Amino acid sequence: MQLRALGRAQTATERESWDLRLSGLVGQRVSDVRYVELDYRDPDWTGPGADPGGAPVWDGVGFHSLDHGMELDLETGSSWWCTWQSPGGDGESLLFGGGSALTEEIEMTRTWNVAASALWKPLIGVPIVATEIIWDHWPATHGSPEMWCQSALTLAFDGGPEVIVALGDRDGTTGKLRPSADNVVVFRSREDASRLGLWQS
C-alpha cells in the first residue's frame, strides 16, 4: 500500500475490502507510536505554525492534531500508518496501510515519539479487539461519480479504551477542533470526539 493509493470506495464491495484491511489490526498489540509532522525547524519554512525551535504543535486541548499522520509499530515487528488523502473534486478521505510509508515517502518531515503520552501510554501492549471505518457519502456531482470516503477510523482496545482517528484540525487561535481535509486528529474516546464536535454538522 503506497501513498498514491486512494482511500475512497465506489461500491459496497470496495468498502468491505477496506473494512477487512483495517480489521487486520485485530489481535495486534501496539509497541510504539510516532506522529509525523512538517519539520518546522527548516529556516526556509514561513508557513502556519513555523517554529524555528521545533516545538511540537500536535498537542491540542483534548485531542492531538497532525499535519501529516501517524505510524504504529506492532509487537509482531510490522508497522501501520494513517494519513489524509489529498482532497479534490471526488471527495476527501483518510488513507491507511502497512509499513512506514509516511517517513519513507514524504520529505521535510519530523517524527515525534508519543508512546509515553497520556493518550497512548495506557494502550501500549494492549490487544486491539475491534476496528471500524466511518464512511461519508459523497453523491455524484459535476461529472464526478458517487463516492464513499473514510472520515474516521476507530481502534478499540481490550478492556474498553478506544482511539478515534479522523479528518480535522486544531484552530491555531482557539485551540479548538475545526474541519479540515488535509490534517488528522486523534481522540482517546468516541465520547471525547463527539463532545469536541467531531460529528457535529
Q: What is the pLDDT of residues 17-32, one digit of tens each?
A: 999 999 999 999 999 9
3-state DSSP assignment of residue 93: strand
Provide the pairing of β-strand 109-113 with 30-38. antiparallel
Q: What sign for the dihedral angle of Cα 168, 123, 49, 39?
A: negative
Q: What is the pLDDT of residues 100-141, one digit of tens each?
A: 666 665 565 778 899 999 999 999 999 999 999 999 888 877
pLDDT of residue 49: 45
CA distance from start to end of the chain: 32
On whether the CB atoms of residues 107 and 69 are closer than 8 A, the answer is: no
pLDDT band at 56, cuts 50/70/90?
Answer: low
Distance, in Å, from the CA atom of 133 to the CA atom of 143, rounded to the nearest integer, reads: 26
Q: What is the pLDDT of residues 32-45, one digit of tens each?
A: 999 888 765 555 55
Span 144-161, average pLDDT: 90
What is the 3-state secondary structure of 114-132?
CCCCCCCHHHCCCEEEEEE
Q: What is the pLDDT of residues 172-193, one digit of tens each?
A: 777 788 888 888 999 998 888 8
Distance, in Å, from the CA atom of 152 to the CA atom of 67, rounded to the nearest integer, reads: 15
pTM of the entire predicted model: 0.84
